[in-house]
Structure 1
Amino acid sequence: METTTSTAALAPDAVAHDGRGNTAPLIIVTILFFMWGLLTSLNDVLIPHLKAIYTLSYVQAMLVQFCFFGAYLIVSLPAGMLIRRIGYQRGAVAGLVVAAAGCALFYPAANGGYGLFLFAFFVLAGGITVLQVAANPYVTVLGDPRTASSRLTLTQAFNSLGTTVAPALGGMLILSGSVLGAQELARLPAVEQVAYRAQQAAAVQGPYLVLAAALLLLAVLFALARLPKLVDAAGDAPAGRFADLFVHKHLVLGTIGIFLYVGGEVSIGSFLINYIGEPHIAGLAPADAAHYVSLYWGGAMVGRFIGFAVMRTVSPGKALAFNATCSMLLILVAIFGSGSVAMWAILAVGLCNSIMFPTIFSMALHGLGRQTGQASGLLCMAIVGGALVPFAQGALADASGIQVSFFVPLACYAFILYFGARYVNLHRQ
């Protein structure tokens, strides 16, 4: 999932544009973007693993995304207040430490049950939220302002790299062992069932302890790094009341678009391993299916480069409408098809996702002037769609089957098509 960088209300204090002085801090920030992508995409591996261990329904399994992305809504405002109090660099360190604590909680969660896993996901996502609010602005100030866009492109590419490698890595480290089916597990005595669940859940302990150590190391490096001091730029302060934002129809529709896009993208990724494992689709074991999930997220990375070239001549609205249409057609093939055709169709949606987040974001902010800062906050809160849309797909999967459940993300992309077509000439390049 994409991260956003906005410095509309920030100004660097005594920023040096010397490349040598900024190289090390920029490397650290780039690693942070990679870690965000890695930790977010690992959820797609853990969801089917926890579902099998605790014999969960799809709705229960989607509580993982509900707790993870729900943190964006709950923690964003407190994170902003914390950072204004302690500063951006200390805020980034605090976010890293909290995220490390969330990863460390996976160790006791292996013996504490599904509820403790959900709490660990929330703590981890809360730390990531603080970290994003604090660290994102450094991308644009670590170097010459004229090359800020290229630096942002680089960090976003590493974010996509993290989402791409995480499923394959998680498949090898977490899904490599065989898991008993629900009927096989039910035949075991109650004591053996508890011991079996603890043994299977322990597969996450080692990888997440390594991640906790990596985050703590990054916290130390970030604390020691010589970074420019960021201060609020009074001249860029947003004007007007928050309620005034809702008179801008394209912003309201764009906020809904971000909500549904993030929800649809995350929801598809969450169900991919189970979908590919269906006998009439590919019948793959979870560890093997995880490698294909990497292709879904990798498609978004490749699509960004294609989109960068195409959108130099094509308006954002047309590009958005085209990609949404392609996504809908591919999902319909995945719903009504079978075999490798259906599998590759749903994986190809990742390629179509590539331009959607930044395109919707920029179209929604078009022409807002001094209200841009407030509007950006509203759009970032809409990322909570990643918590709610998978929940809706889980309910439909429990009621009608996993293949039919993809009508939920289909509806999400239908709205994105509407938004792109309605504002096809907005923000024309």
Structure 2
Amino acid sequence: MAGQIPNNPILDDQVSPGGNSKNYKSAFALLTSLFFMWGFITVVNDPLISAFKKIFDLQAFHAGLVQSAFFIAFFVISLIYFLISTSRGEDPINRLGYKKGMSFSLGVCSLGCFSFYPSALAESYPMFLASLFILASGITLLQICANPYAAIMGSKETASSRLNLAQGFNSLGTTIAPLAASLLIFKVFTNGTEPTLDAISSTYLITGSLFLVLALVVWVADMPAYTNAEKVKGGLAVLQFPQLKWGIGAIFFYVGGEVAIGSWLMPFMENVFGFEPTKAGAYLAFYWGGAMIGRLLGAVSLNTDIEDNKKYPMMAAISVVVFGVIYLITGLDLDANGAIAFVGLEFSEVVFYLLFLVLNYIAFILGKSNAARSLSIFCVVVIALLLIGVFSGESRLALWALLSIGLFNSIMWSNIFTLAIKDLGIYTSQGSSLLVMAIVGGAFIPPLQGLVSDVWGPQLSFLTPIICYAYILFYGLVGHKTQEEKHS
């Protein structure tokens, strides 16, 4: 039974989970940089789709294989990890330690980025897809380590809050990435007006170097390893937990829906509104930046240690300040002389976003600091925004409704993940590998939406993710309950 399993792995240096040691605080600070980097590199795929589509003259479906190559790795690598752990009766990360596991994962990420250079020399789209697979393999292993690492570094009651905070830095990476990658690929490393393979490889050589530095920093850093030598049952014993079984599907559809929307927003803006790639990349930053705002609000909202009379004013302040940061970031561009200039959006352009920002704040209040309740409310709002985006024509309301979905996607990953691994005990890493395996949803939903886009157009294609959020709504209402909660 779940209640008979220890709740946390054993720390190799005897620092208690949830303690206030210097190691704990510094380790979490370093951990947030890892969340930032994998968020950044994942969203670089969005402008990469537009670049490859032009360079190799691809149809939308074939360009969407960028996401397929990236996210199929999550399934393959996680499946291999799961099979190893079940066949040997011990979890590799539990045995090796989370610290060494994260360092190794970052090294694989670096290798994947560096492999873009020979892919560019060969001028081969399939080789680029293989490079993305290697890169995503490292991200997969990193997520298997880092997500439960953040969740177990304290009490179970604040696990969602802690993971939302770490995911907030992940969203900082996803916010900066569309603008930074668009500038690098379409302007900085491009001599003419069109993207080049050299521009793409140069961009990934920079990120590969950053991953390598982080791998070395984590290796030498003083941070708890979280090891556990206890044996786990072979076979599918981990699937005895219903919250995990249904949670696997919820992660599949969440990642699929989020990535599909992010992937096809740029083509939507370019084809429907006539935006240039760099302008579309700046607007896209509001989608991913909204996730950062929501996750930071979620870190406060779901923290039971903060009183309500302090919590809600703090959340309002975070919304305003972080929006200001996103506005400044998205206003950066290069002028005719190649110098950085600020060209901010008109107030009339962002007024809809501000209204949805208020709606996001109200949704958190209605969630009442409950992970499952908040998840359900946010799903309902996302479905409504998708319908507005599809059926409001070529209006600014349609554009900003779709861009504002990021605000409500924000807490979904963290809430699903922590609800799914609740009370797994020694099965935590094994369960985490299955949840990370479900990220493969990002390999299936984006090309499916691309196929719909080829047939019915980019705007109607945004009906596709509604299926995803309908399932997540089910998980928030019913599927997240443990055996004990179902019988209580």
TM-score, with normalisation over the residues of structure 1? 0.81
Cα pair distance change 1:255/1:232, threshold 3 Å = same
Partner of 1:265: 258
Partner of 1:185: none
The DSSP-based 3-state class of the residue aligned with 1:343 is helix
Larger mean Cα displacement after TM superposition, 314-323 or 408-417: 314-323
The DSSP-based 3-state class of the residue aligned with 1:174 is helix
2:222 is the counterpart of 1:226:
yes
What pairs up with 1:243-262 in 2 under 5 angstroms? 245=239, 248=242, 251-262=244-255
Larger mean Cα displacement after TM superposition, 306-315 or 60-69: 306-315
The DSSP-based 3-state class of the residue aligned with 1:230 is coil
Cα pair distance change 1:304/1:89, threshold 3 Å = closer
Partner of 1:298: 289
Distance 1:360 1:164 in 2: 22
What percent of counterpart residues are identical? 40
Distance 2:479 2:160 in 1: 24
The DSSP-based 3-state class of the residue aligned with 1:10 is coil
Partner of 1:288: 279
2:131 is the counterpart of 1:120:
yes
- Match of 2:52, as an amino acid? L
**1:312 Cα deviation (Å)?**
6.6
Contact 2:47 2:181 in 1 (8 A): yes
Distance 1:229 1:251 in 2: 24
Distance 1:209 1:35 in 2: 14
**1:155 Cα deviation (Å)?**
2.4
Distance 1:173 1:107 in 2: 15
Contact 1:317 1:425 in 2 (8 A): no
Distance 1:32 1:425 in 2: 30
What pairs up with 1:100-179 in 2 under 5 angstroms? 100-112=110-122, 113-136=124-147, 138-139=149-150, 152-176=163-187
Distance 1:363 1:75 in 2: 23
**1:261 Cα deviation (Å)?**
1.2
Distance 1:215 1:104 in 2: 10
**1:208 Cα deviation (Å)?**
1.2
* Structure 1 unaligned residues grouped into runs of 5+: 1-6, 180-194
The DSSP-based 3-state class of the residue aligned with 1:257 is helix
Larger mean Cα displacement after TM superposition, 146-155 or 216-225: 146-155
2:475 paired residue among 419, 422, 426:
419
- Match of 1:53, as an amino acid? I
Alpha-carbon RMSD: 3.4
Larger mean Cα displacement after TM superposition, 204-213 or 362-371: 362-371
Partner of 2:207: 211
Partner of 2:441: 385
Partner of 1:94: 104
Distance 2:162 2:376 in 1: 28
Distance 1:258 1:33 in 2: 17
Distance 1:213 1:244 in 2: 37
The DSSP-based 3-state class of the residue aligned with 1:52 is helix
Deviations 1:256-313 (A, max 9, x none): 222111100011001111011123xx22111110011111011112123444533772
Larger mean Cα displacement after TM superposition, 19-28 or 33-42: 19-28
The DSSP-based 3-state class of the residue aligned with 2:293 is helix
Deviations 1:31-76 (A, max 9, x none): 1111011111111111111111111111111111111111111112
Distance 1:148 1:257 in 2: 18
Deviations 1:128-183 (A, max 9, x none): 2223334455546779999877654442221111111111111211123899xxxx
Contact 1:11 1:232 in 2 (8 A): yes
The DSSP-based 3-state class of the residue aligned with 1:323 is helix
The DSSP-based 3-state class of the residue aligned with 2:292 is helix
Partner of 1:349: 405
Distance 1:30 1:79 in 2: 24
Cα pair distance change 1:165/1:247, threshold 3 Å = closer
Distance 2:479 2:222 in 1: 43
Distance 1:157 1:367 in 2: 24
Contact 1:28 1:218 in 2 (8 A): no
Contact 1:238 1:372 in 2 (8 A): no
2:414 is the counterpart of 1:358:
yes
2:253 is the counterpart of 1:242:
no
TM-score, with normalisation over the residues of structure 2? 0.72
What pairs up with 1:187-202 in 2 under 5 angstroms? 200-202=196-198
Distance 1:107 1:173 in 2: 15
Larger mean Cα displacement after TM superposition, 396-405 or 305-314: 305-314
Distance 1:21 1:425 in 2: 34
